[in-house]
């Protein structure tokens, strides 16, 4: 019996944040159950027992312990299975810097990048046209975000310091989506940001997962 079940969806950036964490930790003893977002399965009573807001991802253990929200799930799994992706609790300053970097990613980056993903990617599956004004505004915010992040990355290798941590993983799915939507230049045109991105995606476990997902997404697209 697998250690736990991850309820997620194909192409869900929030699910992929957790899968990348598990891949980087070398952990495979889990079951991935796909919730079909296009069919609205996330709003079923069964899924709402796991995620009261009717979303994915969520994880459940055989003792019924359940968690939703991708970042707390990543953090819990990294602690439970001792993935070397967090500063030690005893290092109070490094932990505070990690928390700071986590807040920055979620509030200053993921918010506008998520709007771009919704307009350019999710709406396509809903058969709705993108709102160009929303995209323009969100792109400006993401550009400004990386102007600042780029300056900081001239002084350190990763988002929360000189070690690769969960925070770097948190960025990967939405940056991948920016590339897929044709906005990769936001990353590649900024030297320090581009070097950081290369350091992240060239990690063997991450490279393997992204390559396998590309094949799976292409195959899923062909079945549509």
Ligand X SMILES: N[C@@H](CCC(=O)N[C@@H](CS)C(=O)NCC(=O)O)C(=O)O
Give me 33's structure tokens: 């159950």
- 14-33 residues in contact with ligand X (CB under 6 A) are 14
Nearer to ligand X, 120 or 190 (CB): 120
Measured from the CB atom, is 98 or 194 closer to ligand X?
98
Task: Give the number of residues in contact with ligand X, rule: CB under 6 A.
Answer: 13
- CB–CB of 23/208 below 8 Å? yes
Number of H helices, E strands in the chain: 11, 4
- 70 contributes a contact to ligand X by CB under 6 A: yes
Give the nearer residue to ligand X in terms of CB position, either 56 or 200: 56
Q: Under DSSP, is residue 190 helix (H, G, I), strand (E, B) or coil?
A: coil
Tell me if residue 63 falls in helix, strand or coil: coil
Using the rule CB under 6 A, is 5 a contact of ligand X? no
Q: Residue 131 — φ and ψ, nearest 5°?
A: -95, 105
180 binds ligand X (CB under 6 A): no
Minimum separation from the CB atom of position 199 to ligand X (A): 24
Residue written as token pair 């992204």: 210
Measured from each CB, the residue nearest to ligand X is 55
Q: Under the rule (CB under 6 A), what is the footprint of ligand X?
A: 9, 12-14, 37, 42, 54-57, 69-71
């Amino acid at each position: 019996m697998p250690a736990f079940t991850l309820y997620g969806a194909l192409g869900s950036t929030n699910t992929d944040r957790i899968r990348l964490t598990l891949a980087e930790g070398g952990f495979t003893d889990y079951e991935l159950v796909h919730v079909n977002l296009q069919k609205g399965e996330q709003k079923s009573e069964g899924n709402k027992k796991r995620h009261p807001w009717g979303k994915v991802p969520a994880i459940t253990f055989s003792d019924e312990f359940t968690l939703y929200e991708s970042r707390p799930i990543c953090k819990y799994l990294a602690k439970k299975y001792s993935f070397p992706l967090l500063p030690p609790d005893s290092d109070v300053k490094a932990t505070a810097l990690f928390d700071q970097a986590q807040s920055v990613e979620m509030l200053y980056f993921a918010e506008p990048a998520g709007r771009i993903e919704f307009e350019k990617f999710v709406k396509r599956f809903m058969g709705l046209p993108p709102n160009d004004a929303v995209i323009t505004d969100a792109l400006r915010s993401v550009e400004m975000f990386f102007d600042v992040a780029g300056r900081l990355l001239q002084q350190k290798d990763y988002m929360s310091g000189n070690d690769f941590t969960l925070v770097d993983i948190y960025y990967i799915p939405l940056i991948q989506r920016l590339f897929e939507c044709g906005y990769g230049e936001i990353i590649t045109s900024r030297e320090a940001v581009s070097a950081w991105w290369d350091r992240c995606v060239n990690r063997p476990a991450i490279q393997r997962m992204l390559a396998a997902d590309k094949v799976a997404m292409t195959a899923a697209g062909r079945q549509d």
